[in-house]
Amino acid sequence: MGSGRAHGVFACLRQALGLAIAALLVSCGPKQEESVSVGFIGPLTGNAVDLGLAPSKAIALAIREYNETRGEGDPLVTFAFEDDGWDGANAVPLYEKLRREHDIDILMMSHTDGTMALQDRVREDGVLLVNSLNNDQLLSTMNENTFVIGKKTEEAAQIVAARVLELGKRKVKGFHVTNSFMTISATAFSEHLRQHEVEVEIVPVDISKVDFKEELQRFQAEGCDAIAFFGYKNFGFAMKQARELGLEAPFFASTTTLGDGYFENSEGALVGTEFSFFTANDGNYVLARRFLDRYRLEYGEKPLSVWPPMQAYDAANILLNVLRNGKRESGEPMVEWLKRSLHEVNYYQGVCGNVAIMKDGTSRGIYFSLYEVKGPGQVEKVKR
C-alpha cells in the first residue's frame, strides 16, 4: 500500500473512531464512568498489510458496535492503533507510545515477534495482551497476561504437508521467511513430511528478498516434484521466476497466500497454488456473512484475505462480551477480572466457529481447510 493511500485510510479510521467516541462521551453527560482503553499494534503498511489493516478495522467495528449498544454500568471502550510495518523491533517503542498517550489496559496484536518482545513489559505493567493472528506452541509458553485467539499454526502447515503426501510427492524444495511464524510453519511442514520419508529442503530467506534465481536454478538441477512457499508477497517474484526457468512442479503455500500484492508480483504464476486458508464457509457461515456485510458497509470494501479480520473480530468480541456480561468481584482489578473471565470461555459462538480458551491462554475452535488459487482474489476449496 502506498504511503498516500495508507495515510488516507488511517486518517479516515481515526476520524471515524474519534467522532464515535466523542458522541458517546457527550451523550453520557457529566457522570464519570469507567472506561477501558484498547490498543492495537500490527502491520498497517509493508509486506504483510493484510495481516494488520483489516484486523484493526474489524476491532474498531466491534468496539463501535459495543459502545453503541452498551448498557448502564458497562464501561466505555476507546481504541488506538499503531503501525509496526511488520517489524518486531517496533513493538516496544509503539507499546510505550500507546501506554503514554492512551494508558491502554488491553493490547491486541497481529505479530508473533512483537508479542514475544513485549512479554516482560505487559507483565510488569499489568496489561492484557491478546494476539488475534497466530496460535502455536511458542506462544503457548508466554506469560499469564498473554492470550492467543486464532488458528493453530502447526495444524495449518500440516494440512499442506498432508496434501503433498496425498499427491505422492517425494522431493520437496522451497523457501520460508525467517520470522517466527513462518519458521514454525516451515518446521511443522517439514517434520510431517520427513516422518513419511519425504526429502525436504526449505531455504530460509529475508522478507525483503526479491531475486530467487540462484536457489531456483539449484532446485532445478537437483530435481524436485513440489515447491513450498512460507512467506509473503515477495514470494510472488519467486513463483514467477520458477515458471520462467521452466520449473513445472506444483506450488504449495502458507495461510498468507492472498496477501496484498502477492498475485501481482507473481504475474499470474500463483494460479493453481494450494494452501491452507479460511473463509466464511469454514466458520459460522451466518455470523461470518453478517460480519463481512457490516465490514463492507462500514469501510466500502471487502478484505481480500478474510481470516485475519474474522479472527480479530472474534477476539475483540470475546473481550467485549466479558465487559458486558462478566461478573466482576468487588475491588477486583480490571485486568485480573479479564484474565479470569477469559479462562472461563469454553464455547464462544463467533464468526470463526465455537472458540474455547485453554489453561495456557491458547485457543481451539478455528480450523483451516485446503484451498486452491483460481485467480486474483479467487479461491476454491480443494476437493479430496
pLDDT in tens, 187-205: 999 999 999 999 999 999 9
pLDDT value, residue 327: 86
- Residue that is written with C-alpha cell 485510510 in the block: 9
150-171 average pLDDT score: 97
pLDDT value, residue 262: 97
Residue 340 CB-density burial (10 A; 0-12 exposed, 13-18 middle, 19+ buried) = middle
54-67 average pLDDT score: 98
Give 139's pLDDT tier (boundaries 50, 70, 90): confident
Range with top average pLDDT, 43-47, 239-243, 325-329: 239-243
31-35 average pLDDT score: 72
CA distance 268 to 135: 31
Angle at 230 between CA 229 and CA 232, to 5 degrees: 95
Q: What is the pTM of this model?
A: 0.90
Start-to-end C-alpha separation, the chain:
36
8-18 average pLDDT score: 56
Residue 329 DSSP code: P
Mean pLDDT of the chain: 92
Give 26's pLDDT tier (boundaries 50, 70, 90): very low
Give 373's pLDDT tier (boundaries 50, 70, 90): very high
Strands (E), the chain: 35-42, 76-83, 106-109, 128-131, 146-148, 171-177, 199-205, 226-230, 251-253, 274-277, 348-350, 353-357, 363-364, 369-375, 378-381
pLDDT value, residue 137: 84
Query: Is 91 a residue whose pLDDT tops 90?
Result: yes
